[in-house]
Amino acid sequence: MGEFKVHRVRFFNYVPSGIRCVAYNNQSNRLAVSRTDGTVEIYNLSANYFQEKFFPGHESRATEALCWAKGQRLFSAGLNGEIIEYDLQALNIKYAVDAFGGPIWSMAISPHGSQLLVGCEDGSLKLFQITLDKIQFERNFDRQKSRILSLSWHPSGTHVAAGSIDYISVFDVKSGSAVHKMLVDRQYMSVSKRKCIIWGVAFLSDGTVISVDSAGKVQFWDSATGTLVKNHLIANADVQSIAVSDQEDSFVVGTAEGTVFHFQLVSVTSNSSEKQWVRTKPFQHHTHDVRAVAHSPTALISGGTDTHLVIRPLMEKVEVKNYDAALRKITFPHRRLISCSKKRQLLLFQFAHHLELWRLGSTVATGKNGDTLPLSKDADHLLHLKTKGPENIICSCISPCGSWIAYSTTSRFFLYRLNYEHDNISLQRVSKMPAFLRSALQILFSEDSTKLFVASNQGSLHVIRLLEGSFKHLHTFQPQSGTVESMCLLAVSPDGNWLAASGTSAGVHVYNIKHLKLHCTVPSYNFPVTALAIAPNTNNLVIAHSDQQVFEYSIPDKQYTEWSRTIQKQGFHYLWLQRDTPITHISFHPKRPMHILLHDAYMFCIIDKSLPLPNDKTLLYNPLPPTNESDVIRRRTAHAFKISKIYKPLLFMDLLDERTLVAVERPLDDIIAQLPPPIKKKKFGT
């Protein structure tokens, strides 16, 4: 298959933000995750846990609560005191409403989905009415002494439990007054702590209130009498989160020690209707605080400071052994954060608030497989570009020639011109961006760096011609009438004639750049697109989906290619379909038209379309070099998928030229090293 020099890059110092909230939506089987930097991500659990949407973070917008309301509406509230609704179609913030109660610590949607309650720093609970396109303040509940850290509605919607510091209040929704105030014991292992913070409450339909607190307790209260019924001491540290299943027969709590406990309602004896809550299973998938948990019908979902999103299926609820039966740990975003200029061998790294430009080193040495070559020139950090303002960067791109850099935040679009004079680089911002170029979801330069393609929210695609130091707006492709779905992925053909764009659900649209019109639409598929690319010469569009299927579509012929039909007929290798990270990048070999390069977080693969496809009996991944077998055997056992798992976790991989690859890795240890230290557990002695 060939020998490559691989630039193995581990200096992309990317650290994902910790997870703050998770909210599971049963109707759409989607999971909303908010991170400490304010980013909100939407995972589609039906599509192999693909992260299909995200809303960029904002420095001042620390999300403390995240809720789904009726009709797939997503709300968040945070320490800036605002309640935000997200537009899941256009991928932007619909509106923000100030609750005027100081920082908001908690939020809960009423069981009927028509009301929204927030708990504020000043001890107030504010009830909002959810209208068709907005929320409307309705009234305040009786104000409490200290901040309201957790909220839960009774399933009938008549009462609300609110966790504060040292006590839990039960409110009557109609009158807005507290019916009961349940004081929580501050004692912790017979040592009195200063305060006992109620991190979470859950109100069950039988009137039981479950609370979790900073003293490591899970407590069951009778809300009718306001008395403590049962107490489970489960941790030496805070219990920070709780989530109850819809059937109310099981719930999950997360602790600051990284443990997740599963509680289930189990019959006391056989044939008796008397049931009690039993702590059944502990899970230790996290190293740090588990800040948020969710309970889907088939899985326990948890996330926290260690940035992993863990989906632990409940084995007794899983019907068949498939994707859903496996433990999932999602660490890296399912989108690209890196772009590369092949001509100048540059890498552009995207961080939340800055960009880094690096020039790769070089070597003159050669070697054999596995060798590390001596560097004649080390990699250089050329540029550190900080954004202005509090908003996170949504996307960024460097042009193939290396002389343009573009990036976008939620409200502004930036384009820079880079000039290289020997070792000096000068950066010049292209000013006077047109008004329509405000926010981009995806940016792409054409292969010859003369055109810039920008996918904005609201579904429009802008084509801009780049001139020396300035630009000219050529055209805007408006979305199909009636749809407002934003395009998240773009691909342009190397000859510059075709542009492919894909949203999250509808099919892939292919535009003719020469004639500036829609050429065709690839039929939509059940699973979202994770990566797109157009092959040189043939103009075949290769599409990877989150269910690990790969299609090849001929743009000129407007149909799937023969190879694509063959592989669909035969089916992919079962191990290929069992991979659990999506393909995030596809590229091609300039000299070998039959090759397709693609990678996910744990492998990269070169598909050689000229070789026979593997069936389920063939060995898909063979890490060992062939021994001295005859060429005949080698040829007979060779198949189209050449897989390498040397580089992982792999965030980016591309061909720089025929014989050079660049691989950007981000070892997990490096991320862990940058996290705050976990709670220290003594191994010896007590």
Of 532, 473, 546, the C-alpha closest to 498 is 532
Between 377 and 473, CB nearer to other proteins: 377
From the list 282, 367, 556, 571, which residue makes contact with other proteins (rule: CB under 8 A)?
367
From the list 103, 361, 649, 678, which residue makes contact with other proteins (rule: CB under 8 A)?
361
Q: How far is the CB of 356 from other proteins (least distance, A)?
A: 13
Between 481 and 628, CB nearer to other proteins: 628
d(C-alpha 333, C-alpha 395), whole Å: 13
The CA radius of gyration of the chain, in Å to the nearest whole number, is 27
d(C-alpha 151, C-alpha 168), whole Å: 10
Judged by CB under 8 A, does residue 72 bind other proteins? no
Q: How many Cβ atoms are within 10 Å of 195's Cβ, its own excluded?
A: 12
The answer to whether the CB of 64 falls within 8 A of the CB of 113 is: no
Judged by CB under 8 A, does residue 267 bind other proteins? yes
Judged by CB under 8 A, does residue 29 bind other proteins? no
Q: How far is the CB of 9 from other proteins (least distance, A)?
A: 6
Q: How many Cβ atoms are within 10 Å of 682's Cβ, its own excluded?
A: 6
The answer to whether the CB of 265 falls within 8 A of the CB of 274 is: no
Judged by CB under 8 A, does residue 11 bind other proteins? yes
Judged by CB under 8 A, does residue 384 bind other proteins? no
- Structure-block tokens of residue 676: 């705050």
Q: How far is the CB of 411 from other proteins (least distance, A)?
A: 34
Judged by CB under 8 A, does residue 386 bind other proteins? no
- Structure-block tokens of residue 145: 């002494």
**Amino acid letter, residue 286:** H
**Amino acid letter, residue 461:** L
Q: How far is the CB of 625 from other proteins (least distance, A)?
A: 5
Between 571 and 626, CB nearer to other proteins: 626
Judged by CB under 8 A, does residue 264 bind other proteins? yes
Contacts of 17 (CB under 8 A, 6+ apart): 35, 36, 37, 39, 57, 307, 352
Judged by CB under 8 A, does residue 5 bind other proteins? yes
d(C-alpha 536, C-alpha 352), whole Å: 33
With contacts defined by CB under 8 A, name the span among 51-59, 278-286, 433-441, 516-524 that binds other proteins. Answer: 278-286
With contacts defined by CB under 8 A, name the span among 121-129, 155-163, 373-381, 506-514 that binds other proteins. Answer: 373-381
With contacts defined by CB under 8 A, name the span among 26-34, 176-184, 649-657, 678-686 that binds other proteins. Answer: 678-686
Judged by CB under 8 A, does residue 632 bind other proteins? no
Judged by CB under 8 A, does residue 426 bind other proteins? no
From the list 183, 266, 474, 516, which residue makes contact with other proteins (rule: CB under 8 A)?
266
The answer to whether the CB of 320 falls within 8 A of the CB of 313 is: no
Between 25 and 298, CB nearer to other proteins: 298
Between 359 and 509, CB nearer to other proteins: 359
Judged by CB under 8 A, does residue 70 bind other proteins? no
From the list 269, 426, 481, 674, which residue makes contact with other proteins (rule: CB under 8 A)?
269
d(C-alpha 681, C-alpha 382), whole Å: 42
Between 146 and 287, CB nearer to other proteins: 287
Q: How many Cβ atoms are within 10 Å of 679's Cβ, its own excluded?
A: 16
**Amino acid letter, residue 540:** N
**Amino acid letter, residue 681:** K
Judged by CB under 8 A, does residue 8 bind other proteins? yes
From the list 17, 46, 236, 363, which residue makes contact with other proteins (rule: CB under 8 A)?
363
From the list 6, 40, 91, 310, which residue makes contact with other proteins (rule: CB under 8 A)?
6
Judged by CB under 8 A, does residue 369 bind other proteins? yes
With contacts defined by CB under 8 A, name the span among 266-274, 501-509, 543-551, 557-565 that binds other proteins. Answer: 266-274
Judged by CB under 8 A, does residue 366 bind other proteins? yes
Q: CA 20, 26, 27, 32: dihedral to nearest 10 degrees? A: 10
| Residue tagged 């209260």 (tokens) | 221
Q: How far is the CB of 75 from other proteins (least distance, A)?
A: 32
The answer to whether the CB of 674 falls within 8 A of the CB of 658 is: no
- Rule CB under 8 A: which of 602-621 touch other proteins? 606
The answer to whether the CB of 463 falls within 8 A of the CB of 451 is: yes
Enumerate the β-bridge partners of residue 472: 465
Binding mask 297-326 for other proteins (x = CB under 8 A): ------------------xxxxxxx-----
With contacts defined by CB under 8 A, name the span among 116-124, 357-365, 507-515, 648-656 that binds other proteins. Answer: 357-365
Judged by CB under 8 A, does residue 373 bind other proteins? yes
d(C-alpha 104, C-alpha 591), whole Å: 58
With contacts defined by CB under 8 A, name the span among 66-74, 368-376, 410-418, 585-593 that binds other proteins. Answer: 368-376
Q: Is residue 458 classed as helix, strand or coil in its secondary structure? A: helix
d(C-alpha 535, C-alpha 564), whole Å: 14
What region, left, alpha or beta, does residue 525 occupy, with left being phi > 0 and alpha being psi -120 to 50 degrees? Answer: beta
Judged by CB under 8 A, does residue 371 bind other proteins? yes
Q: How far is the CB of 180 from other proteins (least distance, A)?
A: 27
User: How many residues of this chain interact with other proteins, rule: CB under 8 A?
Assistant: 60
HEC string for 534-585: ECCCCCEEEEEECCCCEEEEECCCCEECHHHHHHHHHCCCHHHHCCCCCCCE
Enumerate the β-bridge partners of residue 381: 358
Between 71 and 374, CB nearer to other proteins: 374
Q: Classify residue 164 by its DSSP letter.
A: -
From the list 90, 179, 229, 278, which residue makes contact with other proteins (rule: CB under 8 A)?
278
Judged by CB under 8 A, does residue 674 bind other proteins? no
Judged by CB under 8 A, does residue 9 bind other proteins? yes
- CA neighbours within 13 Å on the CB side: how many for 136? 7
- CA neighbours within 13 Å on the CB side: how many for 357? 24
Judged by CB under 8 A, does residue 352 bind other proteins? no
From the list 644, 648, 650, 651, which residue makes contact with other proteins (rule: CB under 8 A)?
644
d(C-alpha 115, C-alpha 233), whole Å: 34
Judged by CB under 8 A, does residue 630 bind other proteins? no
Judged by CB under 8 A, does residue 359 bind other proteins? no
Q: Is residue 124 classed as helix, strand or coil in its secondary structure? A: coil
From the list 1, 224, 474, 516, which residue makes contact with other proteins (rule: CB under 8 A)?
1
- Structure-block tokens of residue 540: 């075949």
Between 32 and 606, CB nearer to other proteins: 606
With contacts defined by CB under 8 A, name the span among 1-9, 40-48, 161-169, 550-558 that binds other proteins. Answer: 1-9
With contacts defined by CB under 8 A, name the span among 363-371, 422-430, 439-447, 509-517 that binds other proteins. Answer: 363-371
HEC string for 202-236: EECCCCEEEEEECCCEEEEEECCCCEEEEEEECCC
**Amino acid letter, residue 317:** K
The answer to whether the CB of 299 falls within 8 A of the CB of 309 is: no
Between 4 and 141, CB nearer to other proteins: 4
Judged by CB under 8 A, does residue 661 bind other proteins? yes
Positions in the binding site for other proteins (CB under 8 A) = 1-11, 264, 266-271, 273, 275, 278, 280-281, 315-321, 361-363, 366-373, 375, 378-379, 606, 622, 625-626, 634, 642, 644, 646, 661, 669-670, 673, 682-685
